[in-house]
Amino acid sequence: MSARSAQLPRLLSRAAKLATPATARLAAIRASARQMSTARVSLRSNVLRTTPFVRARQYSSKSYPDHQLVGMPALSPTMTQGNVGQWQKQVGDRIEPGDVLVEIETDKAQMDFEYQEEGYLAKILAPTGTKDLGIDQPVAIIVENEADVAAFADYSPGAKTEAAPVQETVAKEETKEAAAPAKAAPSQAVESGDRIFASPLAKMLAKEKNIDLAQVKGTGPRGRIVKADIEGFVAPVAEKAAPAPVAKAAKPAPKAAPAAPSVSAGFTDIPLTNMRKVIATRLTEAKSTIPHYYLTQNITMDNVNKLRKSLNSAANGSYKLSVNDFVIKAAASALRDVPDVNSSWQGEFVRQHHHADIAVAASTPAGLITPIVRTCDAKGLKAISSEVRDLVTRARANKLKPEEFQGGSFTVSNLGMFGISSFSAIINPPHAAILSVGTTESRLVLDEASEKGFKAVENMSVQLSADHRVVDGATGALFLKAFKGYLENPLTMLL
């Protein structure tokens, strides 16, 4: 027992000596962990300090009073950009709710942009004549107080965005440098060192060719110059030795300029209007996605011409009915009889309309537009004639409201006044059909009651373009049969 007691202090001393390295290692590990944590916190704080700096530089360095940026309005569902017309308010003018701020040319018409808040016009950012301005792009600045108008005299929306990318780049570079400072050190050591690293073979070749190694960029490990670098250095020297012949060879190039006159003499490039862009997009989509089919019908117009002449004579100048007015009324009556044609494709369902809202294709200087005559089935010839004239006149002056050319249930396109016998029109989506109307021509037809066995009649050719997803062929034929019946017996339209 006494022997074991004598050995106990020695064993404890040895155990303490063995434990000391482990304790030291543990302390070192803990210290290292604290340092890594501190480094992460330091790096994180650097990034956080950088981020607000970048956001702050998104704004102008000059402080402006409270204001509101007015963006390009979307004045129609199909509008993606617009042109700025005449400004109705000038800088410093007071604006009341409902005042017209500026005229905007949409994809269909020129419309008034009415501002719905009070304030003062401080700055016009898009002057008259600005083209193809996207939706929500700033056009003006409105302030609440008249005294704040002068503060925006030198305001520029681009000033806020020009400096931002530069500062963001600087901030990113500072962050990269803080996160990885050791990455740039090797390259600096190689570039700034006085010693040139090159392989023995590269040195020998450089000496034979009288090449200064200081002018050679090494591609080997750590920028070392190798044999390929010396061999590749020969070509640049040859190019630099003869700059004059290259310059002389380039002088004859302007002689190719005579081709320019043929450009101006051969064609003229006409910029696209917003309306033309929309027409191109919509009709391309319609022709490529809608399964068109076509039905043609010949109609005797003698009775319509007689009735039209009689009604116009009795009007004493108060109205003047056209053949197109009878066509629109007959189409509305036929749509009432065959409601399946008075429908539209809605993707997941077919919508059948309760009234004949007929879009009438009208040509304007800017392009084709289809103002809509509402509830034609409930209107007389005189009302239809008056409304068509008014809509077409305002369409050619770009004065239509959006509700006057959007929607509808059926389209009529008449080219008869241009002498066109017949044509195939493209469906105007979401309508299920469009009626193309040709001119009226005299034709000889068989007539058993006549002594000659034939007679001359006034004949008009029409063609129905229908969407086969909505209107079956037999349904389209029924519509044309009803349409023909109303025109050949026009008094039935008056019942």
Three-class SS of residue 101?
A: strand
SS3 per residue for 233-289: CHHHHHHHHCHHHHHHHHCCHHHHHHHHHHHHHHCCCCCCCHHHHHHHHHHHHHHHH
Spot the catalytic one: 354, 390, 447, 468. 468
Report which secondary-structure segment, H or E, holds 437: strand 433-446
Spatial contact of 473 and 293, defined as CB atoms under 8 Å apart: yes
Determine whether 468 is an active site residue.
yes
With the C-alpha atoms ordered 415, 421, 422, 423, is the resulting torsion angle positive or negative? negative
Contact (Cβ atoms closer than 8 angstroms) between residue 276 and residue 364: no
176 backbone dihedrals φ, ψ, rounded to 5°: -65, -40
Catalogue the E-assigned strands of 353-402: 358-360, 362-364, 367-369, 372-373
- Which residues touch 294 (CB under 8 Å, ≥6 apart)? 424, 463, 464, 465, 466
> Checking DSSP bridges between strand 410-414 and strand 433-446, what pairing results, if any?
parallel
Residues belonging to the chain: 495
Quote the longest CA-to-CA distance of the chain.
159
Task: Report how far residue 343's alpha carbon sits from residue 366's, in angstroms, rounded to the nearest whole number.
Answer: 29
Which pair of structure tokens corresponds to residue 142? 């409105």
Which residue matches tokens 């607000």?
A: 52
Check residue 198 and report its DSSP letter: B
Q: β-pairing, 138-143 with 68-71?
A: antiparallel
Q: DSSP strand E in 25-90: where? A: 68-71, 81-87
Q: Which amino acid is at 220?
A: G
SS3 4: helix
Catalytic residue among 136, 390, 447, 472: 472
Task: Let me know: does 64 contact 123? Beta carbons within 8 Å.
Answer: no
Q: Is the dihedral of CA 285, 286, 292, 294 positive or negative?
A: negative
Q: Which two tokens stand for residue 495?
A: 């019942």
354 is catalytic: no
Per the DSSP assignment, residues forming a β-bridge with 441 are 459
Catalytic residues: 468, 472
